[in-house]
Structure 1
């Protein structure tokens, strides 16, 4: 099937599908819309029926009101007008008013008159017994008479639905009090139904609710009529009956006629458009495309790329013809270039740094490049056309022969490495890529070899192996385990050194890869959360991590280890692995625990001794105070004052030793500087001082008493700053030497001669140990401090944190 036929068939099928879809959608939309219009019209007519029913009920209610609000009725209910019934409730009254039932009761709901009239029989009949169901005490007909309102609606009786109304009995001037109820009812008979039909101009019928179950208010009866339904409730809220109307489906049938006309027009338009489109496509596209294909086929048959196809016009087909002509011109140029490049091929090959050789299966060389010719120190003309081989070492000759026989049509290429004796007598390594060229009968017609001298590479590989051997020996002799592992839930090790054997009791291969033991299984269960938190924090900060934890060895023995590690990241910044060193610190841990226990006992002894001394000093100060009141000699009083000052100084120094007895006892830790500043300042009353802190979110490796540094600096400012002290500023920034913290106040400052003395033990006006111990706290982890302020302008303390002793929250450790 040619392209023209395919195009015409595809177009016609597409057109038919579009028309069919359009017809289905339009039919659905049109008929649905007309059906909705039809239902809206019927619902409007049903609403008119309900309004007319309300009007009929209101007419009966109006008549009932005339009788209920009448002095004669009021007198009759009160028992004063005996001839009221004989005069007013005659047959003509029922007929003229269109009423079937009249009931009159007193205020206690006792019926004092009841009458029922059948206009068909033209005689009085008994009041329907089922009417009494609606006359009990709780009936809506007996509403509150004092409210002077009325009740009106429908009741359902076996004889048929009845329109009924109830009004309180009043005097003609609407005064009272009400002394009873006047009730009127009329059957919804054929006369009233006919009146409804005449009023709306449509057939109206009535049926009991249980005669028909319906789910919607409008239902089509056939193609020509639809029926609308509306239910009515009685005065008790129960469904009494259903009124239905029947309307001709003029709107729906008009819609069907309109749709038929639309379908006819659409089919006619589609037929005409299809014929015209097919003619236009065939004339402007398919015939020209067929002619273009014929020309291209002719050029392909004779192989004359210098010919050109016709490309008249300015549309896509003419552009295609121009593109084909450009392609033919390009092919023509490529053919010319190919001939030139073939001449350049030998020059390119000869300029390669690799050796290139081609020879037949019989060993006759067909081509060598200049680099190979120079390597073997034999002219190419003396090699090509002859059998030529290098001198291979006898041990390696089988390797080369095996490579030549290993190639097959399915695997025509292989690699081989061997040693040759160079023309200068040296032994050289060579690597060759051997490719066999097979004929159509799968026979080898030629070998093509590309090779290079790899002697230096072999020497480098040997040097690398020696380096790896040295590294392996070094790691094997380390007192611990070097590792490289993945950052996964099992802490999978990809490499562990031989030190793993002494550290864990497991062989290295048992801990690596898919070995039977994951390193996480060796970590003490209580320590696993802290271990992973430390690693995650180090990774998040791109910083080295260090931690101590316990492991369970192969023999079940518990060991304390210290791990130093860090993440290894690729050029893309992604985490590649974890590397580090783990060593046994069980003995160190036991020693530290022993020292810690000894320190606890010493601290306990210090506390007891300090407590006793303070008690004695308190007693001494009390005795001095008591004795001073009895001393009249000024000389003796002077000595007592010196004794008191000395005792108080001793008291302050003893308290000072209590604050700093933990100095250096606990190990240094990473502490947030901002938190240390806040903790230190919170211990002082700075209500009259303006405090500003502008420090990066950094952590410092320092003694846990770091907060005492900022406390003592601020305490000194409060004591020695003078009355002009109003502000304390703490700031910080990175420098080439590390992170510099600056503490400034606007007090009196420190004199030049005191700058070098203030950090000495015992120098000062209070205890003399505040700044001394600040320097000692910082010096534990190599942090320095100096005073650089100007006297009279305030004090300035510079705290220099060296690289490696601080971490910025958003970056790695500075080292």
Structure 2
């Protein structure tokens, strides 16, 4: 570079420097006309000195005329020293713009400025290189930060001086820390000490390392290499690649290979791999079924070399060659002579292909079929037996999809008799779906009942109507269960039975029952009316006999009158019982307030005309004073049971009757116990029968205990009898509550 000082153009040395300079040099006078244009300017611009000298500088280089550049020329002529300008452009020989840095110097003679000198350095190439270097630096930085691997740089002492983003995410910001101080695993410090010694010697280290990051174990493959200058290690560069997924996949592959090997070795079939010469390259240990030799003794040999019959091997070889040639699996049967005799095999050959798509080996699976024919015959026999059973079942066996069409997947031949349709018409809805056979009024109900039942325990039982092919309506009883066959809705398996006759009988029975109820109601009404109408005349007869007894003195006539009165009173009692029975049947239960002791006393007082009442000892146990119940029902029960105990007392012992009433959960307990003659076991089941009299002492109508049973049944209660001849009887009755009031009252008391 020419030193900055006032230059004298008349000096010969200066002229030589201008001509030989690698820098572009031009000079101009005070009129801005060119006085110097050196070789370098000629080379850069393509303009010769003869063309430029003496010409106005802005005519030669018109692009220099902009205000900034022009200003530099004028300032130079004013005498300013060493003016610099960066980034001026001069058109080159090929028309391209070339970038320059320029320095302007004034040319003086004494103190007077005579012109100016411009020294121009080309910077186009250096700027381009700089841009490329900047771009390369940015590219490297971007790649460094965006790569999915961990990059890091250590100084010669093992201290972190740089990490990429991925490394920071995995291990945190380690800048300024020493590699040896990392706590990624217990054995790491010892390993790093060994590795660091190798790196200081200029060796590259590779290692697989297990690291725990956020309590998760990861595997890394790490490459660490030294950066050397003049054989001296200046820095250490590291690259860590996360190979966790690869390790996992390797473990899965190894496990799969182990499982496959276990499966192959324990398969009941003989599995072998043959090369293209049909030599065995692998065979599992199941070969022990036909040979005492170890599997290893089969490797590298053909079945012919291992002793297979030549004719059998010829069949086998033909099939194997065909499978290889046509690149397709083949199955065939073959026999093998072993130490146990002839063994039959079903053989499947499957070609295996290389990465180029060519057959490279054949996988052979051999399954013993020696006893297969016997099994087939047994299966056929079982199938025939099952078909015979199903054809004799009084109904239809089926399997259908659990869909709105009840799509039949199997249905037995009995469907023809039930519906009139053939099996193939209903299978898979070929002609029509089973849903179309179901009576329209029953379709929605049937679907809801089946879905509800199968949602709970999988079993269902339904009855519905179908319309047969002939248009008849039949009733069907169907029982089945839901079978989950891997689909979303599963299938239904079950049996259908024609119950049309049963339904017709039930309908007739309902009609008969209705008519019987009507007849019974009419009969009860007649009995009630007849009993009621007869009581008036009977009362008159009883009254007349009582008058006659007072007037007539003749003994024989009086005896007849008493007899007539006695028979009339018995008839009146029977009519009274019949009236009570009719009332019970027609009664609407109406609970009323009852005082327990008053009710019992009233009933006993009403029986004062019974013979022998005076010497009976009554025991009353009434723990609660009052309650609500229907008084007619309660009176009928107590009256008839107490009267029954009076009628069948014993004369030998002092007669005793115990009456007990107590409250229980949701009802009343009544116990009537006596020490009378008792009831024999042979008649105990008959005592509640209408008009039954089980003892020669009985003088009643045979309706008392029947009325008790009817009263208990009316309220839904229970009655229990314990009795022993000559020791007495105990009647235990439970009467449930007949409304909320009564229940609350009982519990309150």
Give the TM bin, normalised by the shorter chain: 0.3 to 0.5
Q: TM-score, normalised by structure 2?
A: 0.46
Q: TM-score, normalised by structure 1?
A: 0.42
When Rg is computed on C-alpha atoms for both structures, the one with the higher figure is 2
The structure that is strand-richer by fraction is 2
